[in-house]
Amino acid sequence: MQRKYIFITGGVVSSLGKGLTLASIAMLLEKKGFSIAMLKLDPYLNVDPGTMNPFEHGEVYVTDDGVETDLDLGHYYRYTTSPLSRASTATSGQIYDTVIKRERRGDYLGKTVQVIPHITDEIKNRIVHCGDVGVAEIVLVEIGGTIGDIESLPFLEAIRQFRYERPQDCLNIHMTYVPYLKAAGEVKTKPTQHSVQTLRSIGILPDLILCRSEVNLSSEIKEKISLFCNVPRESVFDEVDVNTSIYEVPLMLRKQGVDDAICKRLSLPTHPVDLSVWEDLLDKILHPKGTITVGIVGKYLDHKDAYKSVFEALHHGAIAAGYKLQIRAIESDKIPSQDELAGCDGYLVPGGFGERGWEGKLEAAHYCREKKIPYFGICLGMQVMVVEFARNVLGLPSANSTEMELATRDPIISLLNEQEEIEEKGGTMRLGAYPCLLREGSRAHAAYGTKSISERHRHRYEFNNKYKALAEEKGLLLSGIYEEGNLCEIAEVKDHPWMVGVQFHPEFKSRPTDPHPLFREFVQAMVEKKHG
């Protein structure tokens, strides 16, 4: 089959959920039997979002091959089986970097290097490369940002050319916002008309328009959009705000036949799709047995996307247990009192960097250990758990991570070069997938049901093996080891219902249809705590 390409652009406002929508469409196409690959193109100039503040940009998602990417790749993972790697993401920063390096090497043989064709060619190469790497029949490409942004112009020009070169194999989806004006008592299509006009002025004709809206759009409204935007009536769809869960989106799109419309336009067979797994999932979401409350102790809690994958993975665990999950944000900036902490069925300390909020997180771990309340520590959250244990159980009151206190007497968490005096390793981030061997009889082993696992990392500091013997003797089970590097990946408090810390990020590998074992077990422990 000739490979097909689907592009999604956004208009009117940002945050329309393009990534989630494209992932839903990709899932429907996968269910029709096509192999897919997904690519996120980000117009910003950062080479990757690794250095961007989570307050501003939300979570950094990490792939197996250790690339720090945009959080939309998390949606791609949760909805599809699309292979995710370095080939699934590109920013303007990377693209310019590649072209400029080539220019410095003299590869352009003295030619003037320009946005068109050099930058646009590089963008087109990356689109094809993503399909090649993923061996995909259909490549789905999300263009970040909103139509009208100066930064996105080279990307739009590239996809215009791409389609010009393969008119039969490309499809453009434009996602817009159709606001409901209370005062007027009706929805307004003008912003959509304007954003499609802007698209057309740069030579892109949308094939499909997806309208985000608070209310279902009437037939007349869809006709109006069709006429003014030059798109057939049967290619105008609405995507109404979901009631309970983002996992409704694929079902909503299927109901309107978005998948069939896409296949028809691309001359693909419109095989039926079996969504029973997703329907069951939604049924479980809509009919929970009860509610459990998890406290998240962190410092980026004001930004709703800063811990995106952690929140999603918690929901997956709760759906599996048949419960509705309530998340309580506990700011760790100032040390929370016992009263401020009390009231949750379990606590999770997610990843993080820097000293701010550190002592507050230690307090939360202390509270959970003493009161025997389920605790799940992820990355920094494991380091918190270990330091608390060292201070209060190992009898090392000044134990700390050297990230927080360089000159600590007991650096139980520290950089590898501080531990072994190897110069070059210090300060480099451990990124991407590493194998891990689990100790039989541990909670981790019980959760995974297997001895060897692979999980993704994004951190610099490590458990200091100098304290291993003492920690184990006093009841901290080091239950997961990266053997080759002799690094501790999982720690568990033995005399406790469920207190587990992991040096990796399990949240990146959880799906609603296949919850991550540790999140599933953590939620189960919370349910047991609540109901005895």
Catalytic residue among 403, 492, 507, 521: 507
Q: Exposed, middle or buried: residue 22 (CB in 10 Å: 0-12, 13-18, 19+)?
A: buried
Degrees (nearest 5) of the Cα angle 306, 154, 89? 40
- Told to judge if 507 belongs to the known catalytic residues of this protein, a careful annotator would answer yes
CB closer to ligand GLN, 179 vs 352: 352
Q: Is the peptide bond before 117 cis (omega within 30 degrees of 0)?
A: yes
SS3 395: coil
User: Closest distance between ligand GLN and the C-beta of residue 454, in Å?
Assistant: 17
CB closer to ligand GLN, 352 vs 515: 352
Q: Exposed, middle or buried: residue 319 (CB in 10 Å: 0-12, 13-18, 19+)?
A: buried
Dihedral angle sign, alpha carbons of residues 413, 85, 103, 147:
negative
CB closer to ligand GLN, 59 vs 492: 59
- Told to judge if 505 belongs to the known catalytic residues of this protein, a careful annotator would answer yes
CB closer to ligand GLN, 82 vs 383: 383
Contact 209, 225 (CB under 8 A): yes
The rounded distance, in Å, linking the Cα atoms of 257 and 361 is 48
DSSP per position, 28-97 = HHHHTT--EEEEEEE-SSSSSGGGS-HHHH-PPEE-TT--EE-THHHHHHHH-----SGGGEEEHHHHHH
The rounded distance, in Å, linking the Cα atoms of 309 and 332 is 20
User: Closest distance between ligand GLN and the C-beta of residue 81, in Å?
Assistant: 26
DSSP per position, 105-151 = HTTTTTPPP-IIIIIHHHHHHHHHHHHHHTT-SEEEEEE-S-TT-ST
CB closer to ligand GLN, 72 vs 403: 403
CB closer to ligand GLN, 134 vs 357: 357
User: Closest distance between ligand GLN and the C-beta of residue 428, in Å?
Assistant: 11
User: Closest distance between ligand GLN and the C-beta of residue 403, in Å?
Assistant: 5
User: Closest distance between ligand GLN and the C-beta of residue 356, in Å?
Assistant: 12
| Closest residue to bound ligand GLN by CB | 351
Residue listed under structure tokens 């935007």: 229
Radius of gyration (C-alpha) of the chain in whole angstroms: 25
CA terminus-to-terminus distance, the chain: 56
CB closer to ligand GLN, 76 vs 307: 307
- The residues of the shown chain that bind ligand GLN, judged by CB under 6 A, are 351-353, 379-380, 403, 458-461
Catalytic residue among 229, 263, 368, 379: 379
Structural tokens at position 144 = 């970040």
CB closer to ligand GLN, 66 vs 148: 66
Catalytic residue among 462, 505, 516, 521: 505
Degrees (nearest 5) of the Cα angle 262, 267, 273? 55
**Residues in contact with 128: Cβ distance below 8 Å, sequence separation at least 6, in sequence order:** none
User: Closest distance between ligand GLN and the C-beta of residue 270, in Å?
Assistant: 44
Contact 400, 411 (CB under 8 A): yes
Contact 284, 322 (CB under 8 A): yes
CB closer to ligand GLN, 213 vs 401: 401
- Told to judge if 379 belongs to the known catalytic residues of this protein, a careful annotator would answer yes
> Letter for the amino acid at 119?
I
User: Closest distance between ligand GLN and the C-beta of residue 201, in Å?
Assistant: 43
For residues 381, 384, 386, 389, the Cα torsion angle rounded to the nearest 10 degrees is: -130
Beta-bridge partners for 5:
139, 170
Beta-bridge partners for 411:
400
User: Closest distance between ligand GLN and the C-beta of residue 407, in Å?
Assistant: 18
User: Closest distance between ligand GLN and the C-beta of residue 93, in Å?
Assistant: 22
What positions carry a catalytic annotation?
A: 379, 505, 507
